[in-house]
Amino acid sequence: MKGTPHPFSKYEFMIAWRYLRSKRTEGGVSTMTWISLIGITLAVFALIATLAVRSGFRTEIVDTVLGANAHVTVYRLPQTTEKNQVDRSIHNYEQLADILRSVVGVKRAAPLIKGQVMANANSTNAGVEVFGISPENLMDLRRIVDPETVIGRVDDFANGVAIGSGVARALGVGVGDQIKLISPDGVKTAFGTSPRVKSFPVSFIFSAGRHDMDKVRVYMPFTAAQDYFNRADRADEIEVLVTEPDQVEDVVARMAPSVPPYIQFWSWKDASGNYLRALTIEDNVMFIIMSILVTIASMNIVSGLIMLVKNKGRDIGILRTMGLSEGAVLRVFFLCGAFTGVLGTLLGTVLGCLFAIYVDTIFAFVNYVSGGGVWDPSIRGIYEIPAELKLDDVITAVTLSLGLSFGVTYFPARRAARMNPVEALRYE
């Protein structure tokens, strides 16, 4: 019993390989083949690199949001007190936090004090935002207490304050130094309101991975923040962390019936939703642009094959008179174009993957050659260009490149197969 025939015969591979290696004087188009090969390689490389950087940006941004912020912020609607003052603080914060912790999907609920003050050290001032949080709850903010980025001891937080690397750089202070926090909302006297000034030692310096966070954030123990901001027995907000941040809407829906109607929720998706949607649109546009580049590069295969078919008209006529079928001729020229597409895709994939893996080294070299300043974190928000190589992105790029390469190859190969051998040999 005969085995299943192969879709391509050995002699078809042999003829296609001979045509690809033939010199221009022999009717080959090696120059066009090289142009097509380089074009597809660069296009696939650019597509994979773009997809890797796109995925890296999204992952880095979401990770900094989730790693240094609450997944859900719980606050109360403003109310007017008997003294006609607007009050938004939560008085029964411990009871409310216990209720929130009992909801399925909630990892922790931490009372929080927030306030904007002026920080002073070494005759330098900087506007900062103070977050009053208990030491045990601070440990859940992995971007703030990451041992790889922290300078100092996180365990010393209860005896001082934690400041962002940008704050430390602006004030010129280090671990153990004293900083003054100055709040304009101080003690009211007969001569007006006097600013509240208090000094705190720097327990540790953190880097959350976002320049805009590191340059303004200061963390203070919760009880010290209550005393400093005159929030005795009150909290400004309650920070909630959930076990599944992507399903935060479901957790909010479960928390809502358990709290009074004046309590409101603000999730991380509410805060960053518009930005993430804009990032998604930008991602789709970049993918379309890169796909067009791959399409243009694949079109070079068409021009090269058309020239090859024209130059090999005599060979086609001879092969047809020797008994080669139309299908065999089609497969020979299809192999010529497909080989270029496959090799270009393979080389482009390797280059794209290497770029994603060694992106830090590459940009460090570019930054060195250009004299620095290539990546400004104050503009881009993060400290370095991120790249995350995903198997799905690589498969998408390879499938797109091979699909276009095979698709455009078919039509000139079909034209060669339909060439009349008599017309091809008429003037030979």
**Cα angle 104-107-110, degrees, rounded to a multiple of 5:** 120
**Tokens linked to 230:** 């005159």
Q: Region 194-204: what's the mean pLDDT?
A: 89
Whole-number pLDDT of residue 279: 79
Whole-number pLDDT of residue 79: 75
Residue 187 · residue 358 · CB < 8 Å = no
Whole-number pLDDT of residue 366: 77
pLDDT at 98 over 50: yes
- Mean pLDDT check: name the lowest of 177-186, 218-227, 321-330, 334-343: 321-330
Cα dihedral 37, 41, 42, 48 in deg (nearest 10): 160
**Tokens linked to 400:** 């797109």
Q: In angstroms, rounded to a whole number, what is the distance separating the alpha carbons of residues 374 and 64?
A: 22
Confidence of residue 1 (pLDDT cuts 50, 70, 90): very low
Q: Give the tens place of pLDDT for each residue, 8-33.
A: 667 667 776 766 666 554 444 567 77
pLDDT at 360 over 60: yes
Whole-number pLDDT of residue 135: 92
- Mean pLDDT check: name the lowest of 67-71, 227-231, 258-262, 398-402: 67-71
Residue 370 has, within 13 A of its CA and on its CB side, a CA count of 10
- Of 88, 127, 117, 97, nearest in space to 231 by CA: 88
Q: In angstroms, rounded to a whole number, what is the distance separating the alpha carbons of residues 362 and 110?
A: 42
pLDDT at 191 over 60: no
Residue 124 has, within 13 A of its CA and on its CB side, a CA count of 12
Q: Give the tens place of pLDDT for each residue, 120-157.
A: 998 899 999 999 999 999 998 888 998 888 999 999 99
